[in-house]
Amino acid sequence: MPTPPDPSVLYPDVTAFGSLATALRAEADAGLAGVPVTSPDFDPLLHATVTSMLPHREPLQISAWSHERRWSIRGTEPFQSLSLIDGRTNDLAEVARAARAWHDGAALNDIRQAVPFVHLTGRFEVPDLDTARLVESEWQSMRVEAGELDYAWQETYQALIEAAHAEPALRVLYPFTSHWALRFSTTTRPRLTVVGPCLTAGSDGTYGVGTGFITPDLGLFATAHEAVAVAMRHMPSVLGPVTLGG
């Protein structure tokens, strides 16, 4: 990989202000007045954070790209540190508008409508950490992600997620993926408690079910519904409600 240019080459305007935080304030033209915006001492030109008035939102993370002029944002919730919003743009004024909306506690959908580059991950905010809602939020995020993938096997993977979500006994478990393998937990992040088989969607259109990680020792199947049915038969007979994993 080629060596990235010096930040002053890509971001001469930010360099002139001395930090991304100061440049954001200037770009916002008083739109960030009274909002805590900071840049770290170790890399002030490439990073900034903007706090939120809502206690169930972590500070918005803003990062400048190193190989081309562009900025990324990521807004997370504090318990699981999972993304609620993200996005990328080459317009610093848009970043400032997104930062203001995040700080002010605007609803996620309203942030997206006001600042079109913002991408909603599908997760929604659960301030009271209700476990059923956290499970629902994670399923929604997983379904959104599956529908947005740009891989040859996207339809195969999406079919697996939808088939698993359609099964009531699986839908009440906390879903998670690792290397695009679908697994289930009886606790939420940050400490997962794995239960039941591992489901995989192959690039050849088949679906695997295994007792181990990405090891289809329980069989390969032509449809997602067949794979889910086999996984169900190997689930523990008694599963209590999902609890907080922390």
Q: What is the pLDDT of residues 23-68, one digit of tens each?
A: 999 999 889 999 999 999 999 999 999 999 999 999 999 999 999 9
Q: Confidence class of residue 216 from pLDDT cuts 50, 70 and 90?
A: confident
Q: What is the mean pLDDT of residues 138-164?
A: 94
For residues 62 and 70, give the distance between their C-alpha atoms in angstroms, rounded to a whole number.
11
Q: What is the pLDDT of residues 61-89, one digit of tens each?
A: 999 999 999 999 999 999 999 999 999 99
Mean pLDDT of the chain: 95
CA–CA distances in Å: residue 51 to residues 38, 55, 77, 82: 9, 10, 12, 16
Preceding peptide of 190 cis, ω within 30°: yes
- For residue 117, the tally of other CB atoms under 10 A from its CB is 18
For residues 148 and 11, give the distance between their C-alpha atoms in angstroms, rounded to a whole number.
31
Q: What is the mean pLDDT of residues 150-177?
A: 95
Q: What is the pLDDT of residues 93-103, one digit of tens each?
A: 999 999 999 99
For residues 199 and 144, give the distance between their C-alpha atoms in angstroms, rounded to a whole number.
18
Q: CA 33, 98, 80: angle at the middle one, nearest 5?
A: 110
Q: What is the mean pLDDT of residues 110-114?
A: 97
**Rounded to a whole number, what is the largest CA-CA distance in the chain?**
64
239 against 16, higher pLDDT: 16
Residues 6+ apart with CB under 8 A from 161: 142, 143, 146, 182
Q: What is the mean pLDDT of residues 140-144?
A: 97
Q: Confidence class of residue 114 from pLDDT cuts 50, 70 and 90?
A: very high
In this prediction, residue 1 carries a pLDDT of: 67
Q: What is the pLDDT of residues 169-212, one digit of tens each?
A: 999 999 999 877 999 999 999 999 999 999 999 989 999 999 98
SS (H, E, C) 204-228: CCCEEEECECCECCCEEECCHHHHH
For residue 15, give both structure tokens. 């360099």
For residue 66, give both structure tokens. 């190193």
Q: Confidence class of residue 153 from pLDDT cuts 50, 70 and 90?
A: confident
Q: Is the pLDDT of residue 219 over 90?
A: yes
Q: CA 10, 37, 113: angle at the middle one, nearest 5?
A: 80
* Distance from the Cα of residue 19 to its chain's centroid: 27
Q: What is the mean pLDDT of residues 231-239?
A: 92
Q: What is the pTM of this model?
A: 0.93
